[in-house]
Amino acid sequence: MVHFYGLLTLQREPVPLKSISVSVSIYEFVADVSATLNYENAEKVPLEAVFLFPMDEDSAVYSFEALVDGKKIVAELQDKMKARTNYEKAISQGHQAFLLEEDSSSRDIFSCNVGNLQPGSKASVTLKYVQELPLETDGALRFVLPAVLNPRYQFSGSSKDSCLNVKTPIVPVEDLPYTLSMVATIDSKHGIEKVQSNCPLSPTEYLGEDKASAQVSLAAGHKFDRDVELLIYYSEVHTPSVVLEMEMPKMKPGRLMGDPSAMVSFYPNIPEDQPSNTCGEFVFLMDRSGSMQSPMSSQDTSQLRIQAAKETLILLLKSLPMGCYFNIYGFGSSYEAYFPKSVKYTQQTMEEALGRVKLMQADLGGTEILAPLQNIYRGPSIPGHPLQLFVFTDGEVTDTFSVIKEVRINRQKHRCFSFGIGEGASTSLIKGIARASGGTSEFITGKDRMQSKALRTLKRSLQPVVEDVSLSWHLPPGLSAKMLSPEQTVIFRGQRLIIYAQLTGRMPAAETTGKVCLKYTLQGKTFEDKATFLLQPKPDVNFTIHRLAAKSLLQTKDMGLRETPASDKKDALNLSLESGVISSFTAFIAINKELNKPVQGPLAHRDIPRPMLLGASTPLKIRCRSGFRKALPSDRPPSASQPIRRVMCCEAVSFQVDNYSLCGLINHKDRHSPGFGENHLVQLIYHQNANGSWDLNEDLAKVLGVSLEEITAAHPAELVDSSGWATILAVIWLHGNGKDLKCEWELLERKAMAWMRVHAGSTMPLVVKAAITFLKSSVDPAIFAF
């Protein structure tokens, strides 16, 4: 009898990947990450392992190296086709080889090949990358270590090079045979107030009395059931800043790496205003693929994505301004539009749309977003109503670059606001389509509410347009700034602006300062933000600013192997090779030529298990490169001379499914009421009219918790009609019972207020007083701003 020990797949095969260790160094708004994958071949045959893992779209990967039995091998960045050829050649000659490359269809999936790992041998591969940290609405910096790689839907026209059809064995999450550890060091001259996470952490350790440096660690036992997220709160994040970085030694001036680089950070203090009177065409494109039937989060009990989507659409529909135009699309393998073309927002069209939202299901199969986008863009523009497109998807698509290209082609006619739903949504897709059109992107994970983020974005889209955006530099004679970032044409309130520039010419003597100014116009008024800085570039062994600048440039030129225009391909390749930042056209390769054991025969193809997904019925797909090597028949054992290929996927989601829905309109029982008001909140909002008013009826009485007879008896008919009375009662209830979710109903409440001022006029103070007394509410009458 054969006994098996150690880490095994369901086919009783040892797993070569043992652990992943990550070191994160965060300074101000930038993270420098080093991730090490530790392999060990416990078998008696040489093998080849392929590990697939997610990476944030904004990550600039600049280093790859291997440590094999104590020997360090540093990889070289090469043209991707050349690197693949060299890898295959090295393996066939019996050398050890390592290959790191982006997926051909998306910038947020990477593959790492470890070739010809000998029996009993250990190998560690380390990749390093830098990235900007986005700023959340509450002032937190958000760092995410992607640990979930969702299945990417493969349609008939998908790239064959991506190969998403491999099915992996399923095991309980606690049996996943590789582990993750992470240590993060944080430094900020502004002081660190606190660090929060969606995962268990060690207590925050401050490394000085001024709280300018801190360290946290991921608690042991993390099993890839969610992305690891850190929320970092500094004492001050809104101060403009400029960081100068010294050029790379021996590089020729005039090249990106041969001159100092600047990273400029602005946080424009754009005043908040009432939504603009300018209406628009609002199109909501909602994912209805099968994956939307999954829970929003792997943590605790969680609402299904499709249920959250229904509630979000209800809130959006109720918050639209009168006089605008709108439409709703659902998409999957096919797509459906609620109306043949966008319709004017009226009581009738709103009610018709709400009726369809109530019946909406995750029943449209796969995730093909390109066709509905093309249909939307083909529609005629509505004069005076600029198109605002809201895209909601869990991002599980394969044609990422094709979608981004389509959005970019149509960028002059619209803005796209995108939302990534759940763990593992494609950052390449979500960020890419927003960037291409001058919109914004949001990710909804953990305990985030889709409803809150969508309504904040709608509010942002309704704000008056910031115009005439310009950036000017004031530098000593002989020194000039060359912009590396795309021209900024849109600025939103609450948005941080990061700009990269290359300083060319003669650097002046010490203590000389420069100044950069950001100017913009809002409703005819000019605003200006300034930042003064010392012209003393600082050395950085990792050339962080240069590489972030290179990544920013690559994102404008690199649209993948198939979609990048010929005019940009050469520029993208040269920029990638010069800066050392990986792209669609390059790959890192390292070869250990000291090992010289010839390989005979094809490689077997074996799969590494993934965690069991509770409530998920769709098999997960991961990527392998077709044509790389033949797979042995499953019933044919490999010979000792035949290396074995393992395919590992760093993706795991463990969900606790629960049918609770905030929306009482959706047919699920409230099993564990999370607090008075939430279930009734959506019911109240559902019954609001398009003009902002409410009708006095049994539906309203049920939400208020009183009888219709009592409401009618208390109605001051001599002051206001029944709709006015009902509307004031509804608004007071919102403030008294839904204040924690104010960001979700703020816009529709403004509509109600505007309607009441016209409808009730001078009698409003008396009506409000009567309503507060009737409801026995503690709400301050000042909210009505008489």
Q: What is the pLDDT of residues 481-534, one digit of tens each?
A: 999 988 877 788 878 899 999 999 999 877 899 999 999 998 888 999 999 999
Whole-number Å distance between alpha carbons of 740 and 734: 10
pLDDT of residue 785: 77
Residues near 226 by Cβ (< 8 Å), separated by ≥ 6? 147, 148, 198, 199, 297, 298, 299, 423, 445, 446, 653
Q: Residue 531 burial (CB < 10 Å; 0-12/13-18/19+)?
A: middle
Residues near 673 by Cβ (< 8 Å), separated by ≥ 6? 679
Instruction: Check the CA dihedral 196-393-434-147 and report its sign.
Output: positive
Q: Is 128 helix (H, G, I), strand (E, B) or coil?
A: strand
The mean pLDDT of 365-384, rounded to a whole number, is: 92
pLDDT of residue 173: 63
Q: Would you state the CATH architecture of domain 17-236+581-607?
A: Sandwich (2.60)
Whole-number Å distance between alpha carbons of 34 and 86: 25
Q: What is the pLDDT confidence band of residue 396, given thresholds at 50, 70 and 90? A: low
The lowest-confidence range among 37-41, 375-379, 430-434 is: 37-41
281-462: CATH topology: Rossmann fold (3.40.50)
Q: What is the pLDDT confidence band of residue 301, given thresholds at 50, 70 and 90? A: low
Residues of the chain with CATH 2.60.40: 17-236+581-607, 261-274+465-536
pLDDT of residue 8: 41
Residues of the chain with CATH 3.40.50.410: 281-462
The lowest-confidence range among 293-302, 328-337, 659-668 is: 659-668
Among 741, 64, 687, CA closest to 318: 687
Segment holding 355, helix H or strand E: helix 347-358
pTM of the model: 0.85
Contacts 24+ apart (CB under 8 A), 493-496: 493/268, 493/270, 493/271, 493/272, 493/460, 493/463, 494/137, 494/270, 494/460, 495/268, 495/440, 496/29, 496/134, 496/135, 496/237, 496/265, 496/266, 496/267
The alpha carbon of 668 is separated from its chain's Cα centroid by a whole number of angstroms, namely 29
pLDDT of residue 299: 57
Share of the chain above pLDDT 90, in %: 58
Angle, helices 544-557/566-579, rounded to nearest 10 degrees? 170
* Helix, strand, coil abundance in the chain, percent, nearest 5: 25, 30, 45
**Other beta carbons within 10 Å of 704:** 21
- The predicted-structure confidence for 591-650, as pLDDT tens digits, reads as follows 987 765 554 555 444 444 444 444 343 333 323 333 333 333 333 334 434 444 333 333
pLDDT of residue 650: 35
Q: Average per-residue pLDDT in the chain?
A: 83
Whole-number Å distance between alpha carbons of 479 and 124: 45
Cα 290 to Cα 43, 306, 363: the distances in Å are: 39, 9, 6
- The predicted-structure confidence for 527-540, as pLDDT tens digits, reads as follows 999 999 999 999 99
- The predicted-structure confidence for 714-750, as pLDDT tens digits, reads as follows 999 999 999 999 999 999 999 999 989 999 999 999 9
Please tell me the total number of residues recorded for the chain in this structure: 786
DSSP state of 675: S
pLDDT of residue 391: 97
Per-residue pLDDT at 701 exceeds 80: yes
Whole-number Å distance between alpha carbons of 769 and 167: 65
DSSP state of 165: -
Cα 413 to Cα 431, 437, 463, 523: the distances in Å are: 19, 9, 18, 21
- The predicted-structure confidence for 195-224, as pLDDT tens digits, reads as follows 999 899 999 999 888 899 999 999 988 867
Q: Would you state the CATH architecture of domain 261-274+465-536?
A: Sandwich (2.60)
Share of the chain above pLDDT 70, in %: 82
The mean pLDDT of 414-430, rounded to a whole number, is: 91
The mean pLDDT of 770-774, rounded to a whole number, is: 95
Residues near 671 by Cβ (< 8 Å), separated by ≥ 6? 658, 659, 660
Among 463, 470, 464, 599, CA closest to 527: 470
